[in-house]
Structure 1
Amino acid sequence: MTPLISPRARPLAAALLCGALAFGALATSAQAAFNPPIRMSHGIEYMSGGIGSDEAKLMETVLPRWPASFEFAIKDHQGADFAADVHVTVRDGRGVALLDNVVAGGPFMVARLEPGSYQVEATLRGQTLKQPLQVVFGTPTKATFLWPAGTDMAAAGTRAVQ
């Protein structure tokens, strides 16, 4: 019987197979364990998450790779807790909603916004905060929304902000 792989090529084939298996296992375990889904609204990709320490670390890692990022927290005199279930609307310079009342499932949200001027509204338990956002090509832009204590003291999955 003739072998499928020549004896001289077996070490290379074995190394390639081991490398592919290791890469696949790493990619699969990282995505299965931590990656929140990328969603779309009006043609704009966005992702939100950060509940739990592993997912928070992942979101903090990806923030610089997205043109726009948002962080949500509740502040009192002792510190701050991350906020979740925040309703977010992003409007372009003409007032058109690109992200229209999407829900951030965790304290972080990222969006693939084109360079330009935007108005961002973030609503938590009926309290809306607004701020402008200027996205510049090649420079990640971050907006932080900080509600006063009492806004959502029972927010599930919160974590202290450093």
Structure 2
Amino acid sequence: MNKRIERCTLSAMMALGSMAIAGVLSTAQAALPPVKHQGSVQYVSGGIGIDESEAMKAAAKDYPLALTFAAQRDGTADYVASVAVTILDAQGKEVLKATSEGPYMLVKLPAGSYKISATFEGKTQERAITVQGTGTARAVFEWK
């Protein structure tokens, strides 16, 4: 009889744990901004507010490229939005031209070499980056 109670208790605990995990995952997914497409490139940008910011950070592992945007203001770095982003492939072909809706932009790109231009308040910065077949390449743009 005790073994039956133990099994029931264990089953109930496992069910509650599964529901808790599902709740956390659905909350993170709900906070993620909508995914957008430009040609064959899929991307998401945002990160304004703690929920959306945490969701973007958690989703970065699923994207080959993660961009972060910040600007120095009064001696501290603040995250910024409305950054014009252009990504060119190794042949100079434009693969993405978009405006960030927050301080983070996640982009699904095939493995290869890319040139990223980011413009904020009329000032442009460029980065050359290589996206590998696995993992996430990261680039931070900070304006002073």
TM-score (norm 2): 0.80
In structure 1, the partner of 2:68 is 71
Deviation at 1:31, TM superposition (A): 3.6
Supply the AA of the counterpart residue of 1:49: G
Instruction: Specify the structure having the higher radius of gyration (Cα).
Output: 1
Q: Is the 2:69–2:142 contact (alpha carbons within 8 Å) kept by the matching residues of 1?
A: yes
Deviation at 1:75, TM superposition (A): 1.8
State how far apart, in whole Å, the 2-side matches of 1:147 and 1:114 are: 28
Deviation at 1:73, TM superposition (A): 0.2
Q: Which 5+ residue runs of structure 1 have no aligned equivalent? A: 1-14, 149-162
Aligned-partner SS, 2:134? coil
In structure 1, the partner of 2:117 is 121
Q: CA RMSD in A?
A: 2.1
In structure 2, the partner of 1:39 is 36
- The aligned runs of 1:81-92 (5 Å cut-off) are 81-92=78-89
Q: Which 5+ residue runs of structure 2 have no aligned equivalent? A: 1-11
State how far apart, in whole Å, the 2-side matches of 1:41 and 1:77 are: 36
> Would you tell me which structure has more helix in proportion to its own residues?
2
Q: Percent identity?
A: 34
Supply the AA of the counterpart residue of 1:123: T
Deviation at 1:64, TM superposition (A): 2.2
Q: Please identify, of 40-49 and 77-86, the stretch whose mean Cα deviation from structure 2 is larger.
A: 77-86
- The aligned runs of 1:50-69 (5 Å cut-off) are 50-69=47-66
State how far apart, in whole Å, the 1-side matches of 2:87 and 2:115 are: 6
Deviation at 1:65, TM superposition (A): 2.1
Number of equivalent positions: 129
Structure 2 residue aligned with 1:112, among 108, 112, 119? 108
Aligned-partner SS, 1:57? helix
Deviation digits for residues 70-106 of structure 1 (CA, Å, limit 9, x no counterpart)? 0000024622000101111100001111002x01100
State how far apart, in whole Å, the 2-side matches of 1:29 and 1:140 are: 23
In structure 2, the partner of 1:6 is none
Supply the AA of the counterpart residue of 1:127: K
Deviation at 1:69, TM superposition (A): 0.6
Q: Which runs of 4+ in 1 moved over 4 A?
A: 27-30
State how far apart, in whole Å, the 2-side matches of 1:77 and 1:64 are: 32
State how far apart, in whole Å, the 2-side matches of 1:63 and 1:124 are: 22
State how far apart, in whole Å, the 1-side matches of 2:68 and 2:51 are: 16
